[in-house]
């Protein structure tokens, strides 16, 4: 039988029409490098700051925030290969000037990197 046809030869009808909102979103991987951002228009007209490259992070140390440079991505629990490519994602452990820190936000959605300093007890 032809693909998409019933045994009788009749065709299957699509349950609903394809919509623009149902399409796949674009994957954005924030890599380590000199800062490069773009303003992106989202549904409803709101604007979102998208980051492609970033090399600084806002790190929380004992309740106070400091801005410092990111040296490299040490490990990424969600995917081992992301750390090798220096891609910044939520939950990644990064090496900074202050020490190791864990990314607490989603940099691809917000355009900046927020992190929390890890205690090395």
Per-residue pLDDT band for 14 (boundaries 50, 70, 90) equals confident
Nearest to 91 by CA among 81, 79, 76: 76
Strand partners of residue 72: 95
Residue 55 to residue 102: CA distance in whole angstroms: 15
Per-residue pLDDT band for 3 (boundaries 50, 70, 90) equals confident
Instruction: Spell out the residues 6+ positions from residue 121 whose beta carbon is closer than 8 angstroms to its own.
Output: none
With 0.85 as the threshold, say if the pTM is over it: no
For the segment 16-50, what is each residue's pLDDT rounded down to a tens digit?
Answer: 888 888 888 778 889 999 999 999 888 899 998 88
Q: Which domains does the chain have, with CATH numbers?
A: 24-117 (3.10.290.70)
Dump the DSSP string for 6-39: -TTSPBPPPSS---GGGSPPPP--EEESS-EEEE
Mean pLDDT of the chain: 89
Residue 82 to residue 93: CA distance in whole angstroms: 11
Question: Is a pLDDT exceeding 60 seen at residue 107?
Answer: yes
Mean pLDDT for 47-73 is 92
């Amino acid at each position: 039988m032809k693909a998409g046809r019933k045994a009788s030869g009749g065709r299957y009808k699509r349950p609903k029409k394809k919509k623009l909102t149902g399409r796949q979103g674009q994957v954005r991987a924030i890599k380590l490098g000199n800062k490069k951002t773009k303003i992106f228009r989202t549904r409803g007209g709101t604007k979102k700051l998208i980051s492609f490259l970033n090399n600084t992070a806002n790190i929380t140390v004992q309740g106070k925030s400091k801005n410092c440079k990111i040296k490299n991505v040490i490990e990424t629990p969600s995917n081992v290969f992301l750390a090798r490519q220096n891609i910044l994602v939520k939950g990644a452990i990064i090496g900074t000037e202050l020490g190791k820190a864990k990314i607490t936000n989603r940099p691809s959605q917000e355009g900046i990197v927020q992190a929390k300093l890890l205690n090395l007890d």
